[in-house]
Amino acid sequence: MGNYYLGVISAEYFWVRDNIQYLTGYKGTQTVQETLNLRMGKCDEMSTLLVSMLRSVGLDARIIILPEDNHALVGVTFNEANKINGQHLKQGNKEYLLLDPTCKYCNIGEVPNWNFNNAQILEVYEP
């Protein structure tokens, strides 16, 4: 089952990473549908789109907020997530594989040198 999920995660992560332009300095807010239609968005909008895509196939995906860096990215967990090489964030008994769709050179589980000291894993995120 892990290979199936990894394939789905890969396809959806790389699609968002490679097809949605990362906007910085933009102050507005847009919906998942607007991000998809416009093919651009801020880190939280790109992350919300990816979370929506991952959840649509039954994966437990969450927005992770990094307040000290003013950045949002994605954590996804499934039975064998902890066996995937890459950076993880643990909360309770769950271990989230990290995905940063704004990082154009990052693979699954690779994220830039963000500060995770006060990371917040959101249960529900509605922009």
27-76 pLDDT tens trace: 778 999 999 999 999 999 999 999 999 999 999 999 999 999 999 999 99
* pLDDT for position 6: 85
Q: Is the pLDDT of residue 126 over 50?
A: no
pTM score of the predicted model: 0.91
Mean pLDDT for all residues in the chain: 89
C-alpha to C-alpha distance for 24 and 35, rounded to whole angstroms: 14
pLDDT band at 127 (very low <50, low <70, confident <90, very high): very low
Name which of 20-24, 29-33, 83-87, 116-120 the model is least confident about.
Answer: 83-87
How many CA atoms lie less than 13 Å away from 4 in the CB half-sphere?
6
For CA atoms 23, 46, 76, 82, give the dihedral sign: negative
